[in-house]
Amino acid sequence: MTFSVPNDINLPPSSHLFELLDIIKSKIILFIFFSITWSFFVEELISRWLHSIPLGSSSLDLSIYGPYDWIEIQWSMVFLLSIITTMPFLSYSLLRFTSVGLLPKEKNWFFALLTFSLFIIPLTLIIVWSFFLPSFISSFDTLGSLEGVGNHYDASAIFKLTLGFSWILIIFSLTTISLGLARLFGVFDSQNSEMKLKIIILSSSIIILSLPNEYDGLRIIIALCVIYLSDIISRTIPPSPLGLRKFSVEDITSSSGKVDRIAVVDCNCEGSCPTMPKSFNPIGIATPSCKAICLYSEEQDSLIDLVINYKISSLIITGCDGSPIPNNFRNSLQSTNCSLKGLEWLDSEYSEDIVWKLNSLEDSYS
């Protein structure tokens, strides 16, 4: 008999990695397809946009001074349009890929994040390209003109200014999604994880190296603002029922020679049980925390998921002796060959003594 958390699918970790690789490969192919498609229409789109800029009698006084500027503009626009067109498909695939292993609150949060990336970001780009920048240039043409001096405008500079702003929004969106996914998967819970630093360095490097010359002097400031805002949004993720989303679990050999994989649950029992000492940080033992295992089914499901994923053979609860635990939770532990043990701190007169608690914890798995 095996137990599965509701909506859980038993698959080896390698299958999830292959599924993620398939998503990446398919979206790269889709990106190439959209790039080829947009390349047939991009020249007309750019021409229409430039001619829509209200410069009065000088509306046609647009010039391109570099021999390769027009080619650069076209390919930059193709790249931008292809990313925007691919993002809905990528977001949908990521939502399907992650939803199976997410709790309802986490799923709603990630859906809201993807919705923001799919609608708010493109809507902002449309407003900037269609309304804000033409109005800004029109105002500049009125206020910055000199009598007797003709106004001519570099079309590539105007385009690159808008393209740079669009690129900033896209990098901001992708960075936020990447940080959010990493937090959902518990990557940042690992003490030795360098994933956050890698994401920050990659995003910052792309912004600093790819922004056009019109943004000289602002590249580092823009990169810092993008990373800061992305990190703030990713931190709004709902808290995990077990405190952390990722644990380091190793085989522990007792004095009798028995090999166990152990999880010590810091159950608060709705505030009535003393918490584990902060100095308790054992190597190779999971230390999840709960508000009250016997009252919250979400915590029960998360603990069962922990037991299954990390092959926990011994689950130790600090507060009670385990008797208030619901029978369905007990049966689930038995089906996974996981033993249940309670330290009964609630009934001990020494439960406020830190040294006593540390000794109690060490005796429970040694």
Pairwise CA distance, residues 126 & 255, whole Å: 68
Amino acid letter at 313? Answer: S
Contact present, 31 and 122 (Cβ < 8 Å): no
* Amino acid 229: pLDDT: 92
Contact present, 284 and 296 (Cβ < 8 Å): no
Q: What is the pTM of this model?
A: 0.71
Handedness of CA 205, 206, 210, 216 (dihedral sign): negative
| pLDDT tens for each residue of the chain, 366 residues long | 344 444 444 555 556 567 777 888 888 999 999 999 988 888 888 777 767 666 544 444 555 555 566 777 788 888 888 888 888 888 888 888 777 767 778 888 888 888 887 777 777 877 877 777 666 666 655 554 545 445 555 666 777 778 888 888 889 988 988 888 888 777 776 555 677 888 889 999 988 888 888 788 888 999 999 999 999 988 888 888 888 878 888 887 766 677 888 888 888 887 778 788 888 888 888 888 888 888 888 888 888 888 888 888 888 888 777 778 888 888 888 888 888 888 888 777 777 778 888 888 888 777
* Helices and strands in the chain: count of H runs, count of E runs: 12, 8
Pairwise CA distance, residues 123 & 281, whole Å: 48
Pairwise CA distance, residues 355 & 366, whole Å: 16
* Amino acid 57: pLDDT: 43
CATH 3.40.50 corresponds to the domain 252-365: yes
Q: What are phi and psi of 268, to 5 degrees?
A: -80, -15
**How far, in Å, are 164, 187, 225, 236 from residue 204 at the CA level?**
14, 20, 10, 22
* Amino acid 226: pLDDT: 92
Which residues face 7 on adjacent strands?
A: none
Residue boundaries of the structural domains of the chain: 13-143+151-234, 252-365
Contact present, 266 and 289 (Cβ < 8 Å): yes
| Residue-by-residue DSSP string for 146-162 | -TT----EEHHHHHHHH
Which long-range contacts link 277-284 to residues 24+ away (Cβ below 8 Å)? 277/354, 277/357, 277/358, 279/354, 279/358, 280/357, 280/358, 280/361, 282/361, 282/365, 283/248, 283/250, 284/248, 284/249, 284/250, 284/251, 284/252
* Amino acid 146: pLDDT: 46
